[in-house]
Amino acid sequence: MLTYATLQARSREFLAATGLTHDEFARVLPAFAAAYAVRYPPDKTWEGKVRQRQSGGGAKGVLAPMEDKLLFILVYQTTNPLQTMHGLQFDLSQPQTHYWIHRLLPVLRCALAALDMAPERDASRVARSPLMLEGAPVGALDGTERRRQRPTEAAKQTAHYSGKKKAHTDKNVLLINEYTSKVVYRSPTVAGKTHDKKAADEADLVYPVNSTLDKDTGFQGYEPAGVLPQQPKKSPEARS
């Protein structure tokens, strides 16, 4: 079973599972605990009612330590497993896993926002985002896909089937600050079949003036005003 205690001394596995180093995890944990206390006050029940008894009684849950709560939601966000598989790692049933995912995701978002680590969701504010302006206005744009359950409707099956991944997927466009390697912006989720350039056009991103933007061939023709685009080209040897 995965716990913070079992991974604490295994830095490589910890980074692979959570996407964070131990130092970064330690920085997020206090903000996560504070956000959890605000969203779920200890003097109230999980349903939001005032407690009639002192908190802490009864059986202790699998995710009782705050470190394990943060580990649970970070592993889910990093690896994107099926809920059943994720529950197996933490000795939880699928309904329990579903409950904890939806309970902890808002807490994680609040914690990251409090630390100014949350990606921008409003494309019009990217040009003023501290994450974009940190270091140098040099960004990299790319599309990312993740597997999803096969839709039941035929039209949705076609829209979400990605020939590249040979699976049904959802897609987001990410803007990365190349100087800091931090995610600056995450676009709305679109069907996996959507072309990268179309998703970027629909996002209508606003970049800092005279910034540099690296992009791959999936964004061929995407050249926003006031931005210097850079796109790698294959060498003649690679094309032959």
pLDDT digit string, tens, across residues 191-211: 988 898 999 888 888 888 888
* Residue 238 confidence (pLDDT) above 60: no
Q: Tokens for 94, please give them.
A: 């699928």
* pLDDT the model gives residue 61: 67
What value does the mean pLDDT take over residues 100-111?
93
* Residue 100 confidence (pLDDT) above 60: yes
Which pLDDT band holds residue 53 (cuts at 50, 70, 90)?
Answer: low
Of the listed ranges 53-67, 98-112, 164-178, 205-219, the least confidently predicted one is 53-67
What value does the mean pLDDT take over residues 153-161?
87
* pLDDT the model gives residue 216: 87
* pLDDT the model gives residue 234: 66
Mean pLDDT rounded to a whole number for the chain: 86
What value does the mean pLDDT take over residues 108-137?
86
Of the listed ranges 55-59, 66-70, 178-182, 218-222, the least confidently predicted one is 55-59
How many Å from the N-terminal Cα to the C-terminal Cα in the chain? 50
* pLDDT the model gives residue 26: 92
Percent of the chain with pLDDT over 90: 23
* pLDDT the model gives residue 59: 59
* Residue 172 confidence (pLDDT) above 70: yes
Which pLDDT band holds residue 224 (cuts at 50, 70, 90)?
Answer: confident
What does each C-alpha distance from 94 to 84, 99, 101, 147 come to in angstroms? 5, 9, 10, 18
What value does the mean pLDDT take over residues 128-137?
84
* Residue 240 confidence (pLDDT) above 70: no
Residue 41 and residue 51 in contact, taking contact as beta carbons nearer than 8 Å: no
